[in-house]
Amino acid sequence: MIKVHNKATNQTVEVDRYIGRIKGADKGASIIFLAGIHGNEPSGVFALLQVLAELRETETKIKGNIYAIAGNLWALERGKRYDKKDLNRLWTASRLKKMAKNELPLEDEDSAQQIEIQRELDLILSADEGPFYFMDLHTTSSQTAPFLTVNDSLLNRKFTQQFPCASILGIEEYLTGPLLSYINELGFVSFGFEGGQHDDPAAIENHIAFIYLSLVYVGIISVSDVNYYAHFEKLKKAGAKTLGIYEIYYRFAIKAGDPFKMEPGYENFKLIRKGERLATSNGKEVIADHDSRVFMPLYQNQGDDGFFAIRPIPRFALKLSELFRNWKFDRLLPLLPGVKWASSKRDALLLDKKIAKFMAKDVMHLMGYRSRLFDKDYILVKSREAASKQEQYKNEQWFTTPF
Ligand SMILES: [Zn+2]
């Protein structure tokens, strides 16, 4: 057991790796909540404790399994983001391969935490039948309306559109090794929820509403057994001004060791104007060169994402990309010069930079590809859809309801 303190409410609780778990009397989906992957974000831990206690007290009927897993226990106990490495950047293919062979060096507390969490996730995936849902609870260092961070697969898009708050698509293209990208690549519905500012009591309230809505949407609890509309309205009100679907198109990366200071007063989603001074990095001013919206501005000491820029995605673009992906339009791409399959599974393409210049990032996004790895001559783009376990969800209510 470790002690976790919440500055917002001045409360301290004791938790283990499992904040709690409930096995329902009836068969159903398995939902896995993760909270405190970042140790300075305890709101989700408190919210999960409260919801699970309420479900037990009210003897709410549970259809399926609920798991609430604490993230970086070492860091949660200390109120620190992490020890040496950000636990939400460690889920890379090379580390996972080493973990599978028990060869990952235990060089810091974060690696030890990763190994334990991975083991628990594996156990759940092998014990239960699914469908599986993973939700990662976070808070931000700046003030913010609640929002979802969503790896851009059609499954995720369809599921998350049920929540009355903003969705940010495509964060996986800018971050290396977040836990959710790893789970997404296994093909499951998984996304993040950011409930508010780290030490704002409203963040706990928003998390509670989000957890209840999630349990209803996956069919684990019935809409008539909880105060569904109160929770829905709570989240809707908190996120009313920012509602919409956005994409990240820019990241300001802080170089290792560079001092970085964000100008004060930047809330998430705030409009920024061309010419505005946003931050100072290594003694140089960072000036906006066009109008935009700021996302995840950094107001803490640990971390290397200075800020991101986002823009709303027009509805027609969302619809068009859904059609392209459902028609598997990407199968035709290797007919074009400079484009070839990069794997026999046909889930990745190699684009010759000289020839395939016209295959802009936006076109690849429409087709459901993300680009991350580059070399001198080629761009490797990877399908977000190929691994999707659509079969697992096809009878779920949210999947069959048109919108
Ligand atoms: Zn976080």
Q: Which residue has the tokens 């198109």?
A: 249
Q: What is the pLDDT of residue 201?
A: 94
Q: What is the pTM of this model?
A: 0.91
Q: Which pLDDT score is estimated for 359?
A: 65
Q: Are 46 and 70 in contact (CB under 8 A)?
A: no
Instruction: Let me know: does 151 contact 187? Beta carbons within 8 Å.
Output: no
| 320 domain residue, yes or no | no
**pLDDT value of position 203:** 96
Shared domain check, 299 and 197: no
Query: What is the pLDDT at residue 403?
Result: 56
**Inter-residue contact 268 to 144 (CB < 8 Å):** yes
Using the mean position of ligand 1's atoms as its centre, give its distance from the Cα of residue 342 in Å. Answer: 33
How much distance in Å is there from the Cα of 108 to the middle of ligand 1? Answer: 19
Q: Which amino acid is at 300?
A: Q
CA distance 130 to 31: 9
Tell me if 130 sits within 8 A of 186, measured CB to CB.
no
Distance from Cα 35 to the centre of ligand 1, integer Å: 9
Q: The tokens 């999630």 sit on which residue?
A: 214
Residue 23: its pLDDT value, please?
Answer: 96
> Looking at residue 338, what is its pLDDT?
83
Helix axes 93-100, 109-127, angle to 10 degrees: 70
Query: Hey, is 348 helix, strand or coil?
Result: strand
Burial group, residue 196, by CB count within 10 angstroms (0-12, 13-18, 19+) = buried
What CATH number is given to the structural domain containing 291?
Answer: 2.40.50
Q: How far is the CA of 138 from the centre of ligand 1 (A)?
A: 4
Q: Is residue 141 part of a domain?
A: yes
User: In angstroms, what is the span from residue 149 Cα to ligand 1's centroid?
Assistant: 11
Query: Which 3 state secondary structure label does DSSP give 293?
Result: strand
pLDDT of residue 381: 83
Give me ligand 1 centre to Cα 137, in Å: 7
Both 133 and 229 in one domain: the answer is yes
Residue 269, domain extent = 246-312
Ligand 1 centroid to residue 87 C-alpha, Å: 10
Q: How many CB atoms lie within 10 A of CB 397?
A: 10
CA distance 202 to 196: 7
For residue 357, the model assigns a pLDDT of 66
Per DSSP, 178 falls in state -
Residue 36 CA to ligand 1 center (angstroms) comes to 7
For residue 132, which of 141, 122, 140, 142 has the smallest C-alpha distance? 122
CA of 281 to the centre of ligand 1 (A): 22
**Domain identity same for 231 and 250:** no
User: What letter would DSSP give residue 84?
Assistant: S
The domain total for the chain is 3
- Other beta carbons within 10 angstroms of residue 185's beta carbon come to 21
Looking up residue 66, the CATH number of its domain turns out to be 3.40.630.10
- Same domain? For 210 and 344 the reply is no
Domain co-membership, 146 together with 272? no
76 C-alpha to ligand 1 centroid (Å): 12
Kindly state the DSSP code that residue 347 receives in the 8-state scheme.
Answer: -
Whether 225 and 102 map to the same domain: the answer is: yes
Distance 266 CA to ligand 1 centre (A): 18
**Separation of CA 252 and ligand 1 centre (Å):** 17
Minimal CA–CA distance to 162: which of 226, 221, 235? 235
Alpha-helix runs per DSSP H in 89-227: 93-100, 109-127, 154-160, 179-185, 201-217
Q: How does pLDDT run along the chain (403 residues), one tens digit per residue?
A: 999 999 889 999 999 999 999 999 999 999 999 999 999 999 999 999 999 999 999 999 999 999 999 999 999 999 999 999 999 999 998 999 999 899 988 889 999 999 999 999 999 999 999 999 999 999 998 889 999 999 989 999 999 999 999 999 988 788 889 999 889 889 999 999 999 999 999 999 999 999 999 999 999 999 999 999 999 999 999 988 889 999 998 999 998 888 999 999 998 999 999 999 999 999 999 999 999 999 999 988 777 889 999 999 988 888 888 888 888 888 888 888 888 888 888 888 888 877 766 666 777 888 888 776 667 788 888 888 888 898 899 989 898 876 5
In a domain, 390, yes or no: no
CA of 140 to the centre of ligand 1 (A): 6
284-287 and 292-295 beta bridge pairing: unpaired
Whether 197 and 152 have beta carbons less than 8 Å apart is answered as no
Q: Cα(14) to centroid of ligand 1, in Å?
A: 20
Rounded Cα gap, residues 366 and 324, in angstroms = 7
